[in-house]
Structure 1
């Protein structure tokens, strides 16, 4: 089994990435806020890098826990998180600002709460 300490470290790093996204996107009120200025585009790029990190961390957790650990938290679409990582990393020119906006405003708070629960379950 993957070391408990490593799982805790990955969960903490995911939480840090979520916090960073939330802090740096609080001024974003619509997807267009990303697109209408160079600051918005820069914010979008930074958010995408953190989403890549989150997706990669989820992949590591899943693989190293023999695809069993994440099943304990079925409220999160883990495959979608890993898939978003792949889309951002490999098809960057096809990123949809509206989808990223929905992820950070709707999906990320739910993931954040689940990560906190996962950490407390240890």
Structure 2
């Protein structure tokens, strides 16, 4: 058995990071809002840093739970989330702003919902 309280703490950190990304992403309406101004690039950089933290935290959950917890929630592409972390970390100068935009626009809401579901499930 794994340390549920540790996993719950990590899930809360992921939840907080997603909510921070969502706040920072609110004024971004197009990819150009990231790329055309220094302020947009700062937002892109800060969002990428949090995406790295989320991916690393997901990897840690897999490690702590012997890869048994996350597969119970197949609606999320966990491998993709971890892969995003690797791409941003190791190929930072080749980051595709459009891909980051798409992740923020289409993936984070469902990830947050599932993270909250996992938190609830582990609270029982």
- TM-score normalised over the length of structure 1: 0.98
Unmatched segments (≥5 aa) in structure 1: none
Partner of 1:30: 30
Partner of 1:94: 94
Partner of 1:64: 64
CA–CA distance in 1 between the matches of 2:56 and 2:80?
12
Q: What is the deviation of 1:63?
A: 1.3
CA–CA distance in 1 between the matches of 2:95 and 2:65?
30
Q: What is the deviation of 1:26?
A: 0.2
User: Deviation string for 1:31-77 (max 9, x for gaps)?
Assistant: 11000000000000000000000000000001111111101100000
Unmatched segments (≥5 aa) in structure 2: none
Runs of 4+ in 1 over 3 A off after TM superposition: none
Partner of 1:85: 85
CA–CA distance in 1 between the matches of 2:119 and 2:67?
18
- TM-score normalised over the length of structure 2: 0.97
Aligned residues between the structures = 122
Q: What is the deviation of 1:2?
A: 2.3
CA–CA distance in 1 between the matches of 2:25 and 2:47?
8
CA–CA distance in 2 between the matches of 1:78 and 1:88?
16
CA–CA distance in 2 between the matches of 1:50 and 1:108?
12
CA–CA distance in 1 between the matches of 2:103 and 2:42?
17
CA–CA distance in 2 between the matches of 1:15 and 1:46?
16
